[in-house]
Amino acid sequence: MFTVFLKEINTFFNSLIAYIVMTVFLTGTGLFMWVFRQYSVLDYGFADMSTLFSMAPFVFMFLIPAITMRTFAEEKKDGTIELLLTKPLTDWQIIIGKYLSSLTLVVFSLIPTLIYYYSVYKLGDPEGNIDSAAVTGSYTGLFLLGAVFTSMGIFSSVISGNQIVSFVVALVLCYIVYQGFFFVSSINAWGEFSTLIDQFGISYHYDALSKGLIDSRDVLYFLSVITIMLLLTKLILGSRKW
């Protein structure tokens, strides 16, 4: 697993993929955070980072599929997947190695945004007038959201030998699971079940964490979705033995 992890990390950072992805993420969130007047903290007048945490999931929907689309699809296209599968590695070691390497790149993209927190902290009146508990919860939610999107991206890559197809499938899947259940629950036809339907979506649990209260039920939801997506990835990868 560690061998696969190192191989994927080296591949990322020896190409332009990692640098382009991180630059796009930081530029996109930075523009919303500081430049666009409708969202800018400077014009908003309150020392909080809600703009970052409300816009980051949608940036992630494009960022993470771009990271994960090559994990298995490229191996299939180049014909190296057979060579990888003949190595003394289990399917789980391959999947987890690729998953963790992609998630590591997502985390590397998030770390520089801590500068935003420091900036808002210093700009507060008085200095430090920011809800740090809410920021901590939001970062926890954003990390877990990234972990879920990464698992969906890995799954999308294993079902196709084309990187573009993998990207599109991951993008659609991330959007549906993030916002789809909310839109369905908004239909005036479910009555008392609308809240239950909404709870199946990621946005419900992400918003709960963004309030600063880290509930074990929300964390368990994210971990469950990650587990399901990785199990499906294992199922598809293992189908070659059928």
Q: What is the mean pLDDT of each run of 10 residues along the chain (242 residues)?
A: 83 80 84 72 67 87 91 82 80 94 92 87 75 86 95 94 92 94 81 82 90 86 96 88 54
Tokens of 226: 């990650």
pLDDT given for residue 31 in this prediction: 82
Rounded Cα distance, 133 and 167, in Å:
34
pLDDT given for residue 46 in this prediction: 63
Tokens of 61: 């929907």
pLDDT given for residue 45 in this prediction: 59
pLDDT given for residue 151 in this prediction: 97
Tokens of 101: 């390497």
Say how many C-beta atoms besides its own lie within 10 A of residue 134's C-beta.
18
pTM: 0.91
Rounded Cα distance, 151 and 103, in Å:
9
Are 160 and 169 a contacting pair, CB within 8 Å?
yes
CA of 72: how far to CAs of 69, 153, 173, 192, 201, in Å?
Answer: 7, 10, 17, 42, 27
CA of 158: how far to CAs of 35, 64, 66, 130, 184, in Å?
Answer: 38, 15, 14, 42, 28
